[in-house]
Structure 1
Amino acid sequence: MASQRELVLLMAQLVGFMVQSTMILCQAHLRSLRWRRRAAARLFLSSEKPAVSVSCSGKRRRRRIRERWHALASMKVPRRFWAYDRSRDWWERIVLTTWDDGQWLECFRMDRETFMDLVSVLRRRLERQRTNMREPVSAEQRVAVTLWFLATGACYRVAGDQFGMGASTVATTVLEVCEAMEVELLSKTVCLGSEVGKIMDGFAALGFPHCIGAIDGTHIPISAPGSSPEQYGNRKMFSSMLLQGTVDHTGRFMDVEIGWSGKNHDAFVFKNSCICAAMDTGTFVPGNPTLNLNGVSVPPIILSDGAYPMRPWLMKPYGKLAVSRREHHFDRCLSRSRNQMEKSFGRLKGRWQCLLHRLKAREENLVTIITACVILHNICEARGQQFLGELRDPSPVMLPEEGVESLDNNQTLLEGGKLVRDALAAFMESQMRRQ
């Protein structure tokens, strides 16, 4: 039925083209006849003998030809196709009807049930109105092509050929689905939650008490913007965007900071992030429970590496300053607990491999796509989706440890952080001796 409608529309366009061209040619011919009649009348009324040269008649003939060509050139040529024929057989007949959960997990990084639950949350923002021209792309297919693009990192044209969609349609769909996830799911999935005690118990089992998370940064390779290619260049000589993440003991992201250039230091991004301000004011953790160790009040702790400045709530290793057994034990426990951050980055980039290579998106859309990958990572972690493949080292770009303290000019916070670190090191050593 659709092919007959397209054929009738094409025939109507051809008939309209022929009628319009005929009318334009007739108008040009009538103008030429009127000009000839006026010239004949002038010659008949004149008393002198006309002197018509051959060159004048040649000019008139060329002018008539030009008028006809201009008439044809001014007409709009109808489109040959309203839409190219594309096959959706792979998606509609194979994926939706025959695939099992293992195949869904391999291709879309989640099983069918989790996929359908995600579609039901986003359906209100993704469904489009049906018209008499053609059927809209379903919400299921829009989410599927987005997940396939994020999981493989392929170009829009390859994704379109896979799902029977045009490259421009895929580009628009990916951005719309990512924006819908950011609006509907960001505040619900990327948050601390209410189970603070469970998170602290999880880190205590890993060897670090009164801890609620670990923080670190990684670089997302991007294509250098044409307007300012040097803006996102880092010291590794490629363009990147920084992703600073804070995870719990299971590797689920509790907070992310996205959008800073790769040329910025981790400490600079941290000091300008929302989690830094929230932890300084004690509003990030509900109730802000404290632990008293020999007269030292220890707030909820976040673990970091040597690239971050010291805070009473931000613990980093002693590093080269470690000389005693107590300090070395503290560094080992911190490294073992903070390893959840590295594993989380590995699973994030292993699942959504568009973050491994140069992200193919415009500068203004990068933050939305990276945020969508973080949301999907948390959904997969919360639903227990199996991770397929090897963990990939995110290889964060960091400056050496020397000179980091100079980035933080607040000496009070620095001394307070050292005092809390010493108190925790003594407490952890006593716990080790009791065991």
Structure 2
Amino acid sequence: MEEQARHHLNWPDSDRMEQIKTNLETTFRLPNCCGAIDATHIIMTLPAVESSDDWCDQESNYSMFLQVIVDHELRFLDIVTGWPGSMTISRLIKCSGFYKLCETGERLNGSVKLSPEGAEIREFIIGDTAYPLLSWLMTPYEGKGLSVSMTNFNEKHKAVRFLAGRALSQLKGSWRILHKVMWRPDKHKLPSIILVCCLLHNIIIDNGDELRADVILSDHHDAGYKEQSCQQMDSAGQTMRENLSKHLQSLEVHHFG
């Protein structure tokens, strides 16, 4: 499966990315949005000789991380796995090849859009508060007393972010080996098992098949885990989020005006 089906999980070419961005903008009114990112723990039981703090996460489970980026059809565009669940999610993304490609301008580097107000909006993905706010990774506004434009941004943000959570619930619901507790897996082989399940997930979508409604997990894909919070915000990310918020607000004014 790894060798024969790998073409089912690739970062989109420019034409395909334009389709994704157009769909997400049409549905959620966010221009240049390329998808949503989320992470989940694959819980396992380890033999006593292999047990270590490295694999023991904040909920006292032994687990391995899976991080995914999904499009509007819940297809995985990029995955990262093999890292221990004891890491923070903000650390996980910084260890990924995707992060390095974005930081060097080799990914999410498509054309910049100009809002009607003249503000620049570059390509970006959506992530929750566990991720840092970067020029290419938009996280929600936090705190009380948010303005109308901030609240409006958060609502659209949450709707896109839900796509990634839904994809992970679908993955774990379809391939139950990834759900509950995996009994003494080979930690070197487990990333391959996770990858193959992700390939199968994409093959179902690529073939136009639909899962029965009761397949997807009824609870959260990471049930029992508390939300993480990353306080890192870079200035370019803050500017970009403000530009998006103002753009959404102008759309609202135009719509009701």
Structure 2 length normalisation: TM-score?
Answer: 0.89
Alignment of 1:395 with 2:222, yes or no, is yes
What do residues 356-377 of structure 1 show as CA deviations (whole Å, max 9, x unaligned)?
A: 1222431221111011000000
Provide the residue aligned with 1:107 in structure 2: none
Provide the residue aligned with 1:414 in structure 2: 234
Alignment of 1:209 with 2:31, yes or no, is yes
Unaligned 5+ runs, structure 2: none
**Conserved in 2, the CA contact under 8 Å of 1:291 and 1:297?**
yes
**Conserved in 1, the CA contact under 8 Å of 2:130 and 2:228?**
yes
The alpha carbon displacement at 1:182 in A equals 1.5
Provide the residue aligned with 1:370 in structure 2: 194
Residue of 166, 171, 182 corresponding to 2:2: 182
The alpha carbon displacement at 1:345 in A equals 0.5
What do residues 240-276 of structure 1 show as CA deviations (whole Å, max 9, x unaligned)?
A: 1000000011100000000111111000001111111
**Conserved in 2, the CA contact under 8 Å of 1:349 and 1:356?**
yes
Provide the residue aligned with 2:252 in structure 1: 432
What do residues 172-192 of structure 1 show as CA deviations (whole Å, max 9, x unaligned)?
A: xxxxxxxxx222322x11112
Alignment of 1:242 with 2:33, yes or no, is no
Q: Point out which structure has higher relative CO (alpha carbons under 8 A, 6+ apart).
A: 2
Residue of 107, 121, 130 corresponding to 1:307: 130
Residue aligned with 1:386, SS: coil
CA distance in 1, matches of 2:205, 2:159: 20
CA distance in 1, matches of 2:121, 2:26: 18
CA distance in 2, matches of 1:226, 1:432: 58
**Conserved in 1, the CA contact under 8 Å of 2:120 and 2:243?**
no
Aligned-residue CA RMSD (Å): 1.8
Residue aligned with 1:320, SS: coil
Matched to 1:196, the amino acid is: M
User: Structure 2 vs 1, CA of residues 199 and 269 (structure 1 numbering), >3 Å: closer, same or farther?
Assistant: same
What do residues 363-413 of structure 1 show as CA deviations (whole Å, max 9, x unaligned)?
A: 221111011000000001111222122421202645542xx22xx5xxxx7
Residue of 79, 96, 108 corresponding to 1:256: 79
CA distance in 2, matches of 1:232, 1:243: 13
**Conserved in 2, the CA contact under 8 Å of 1:307 and 1:398?**
no
What do residues 284-334 of structure 1 show as CA deviations (whole Å, max 9, x unaligned)?
A: 24x621113445432211000001011111100002166110000000000
User: Structure 2 vs 1, CA of residues 351 and 328 (structure 1 numbering), >3 Å: closer, same or farther?
Assistant: same
Unaligned 5+ runs, structure 1: 1-180
Matched to 1:308, the amino acid is: Y
Alignment of 1:277 with 2:96, yes or no, is no
User: Structure 2 vs 1, CA of residues 398 and 217 (structure 1 numbering), >3 Å: closer, same or farther?
Assistant: farther
Provide the residue aligned with 1:332 in structure 2: 155
Matching of residues 35-184 of structure 1 within 5 Å: 181-184=1-4
Matched to 2:216, the amino acid is: L
Structure number with bigger Rg: 1
CA distance in 2, matches of 1:329, 1:320: 14
CA distance in 1, matches of 2:82, 2:47: 14
Provide the residue aligned with 1:290 in structure 2: 112
Identity across the alignment (%):
25
Structure 1 length normalisation: TM-score?
Answer: 0.54
The structure richer in helix per residue is 1
CA distance in 1, matches of 2:112, 2:104: 14
CA distance in 2, matches of 1:249, 1:399: 23
Matched to 2:221, the amino acid is: P
User: Structure 2 vs 1, CA of residues 225 and 433 (structure 1 numbering), >3 Å: closer, same or farther?
Assistant: farther
Alignment of 1:197 with 2:24, yes or no, is no
CA distance in 2, matches of 1:398, 1:307: 10
CA distance in 1, matches of 2:159, 2:166: 11
CA distance in 1, matches of 2:161, 2:99: 18
Residue of 208, 214, 222 corresponding to 1:384: 208
In the alignment of these two chains, the number of paired residues is 245
Residue aligned with 1:363, SS: coil
Provide the residue aligned with 2:91 in structure 1: 268
The structure richer in strand per residue is 2
Matched to 2:12, the amino acid is: G
Residue aligned with 1:241, SS: strand
CA distance in 2, matches of 1:433, 1:365: 54
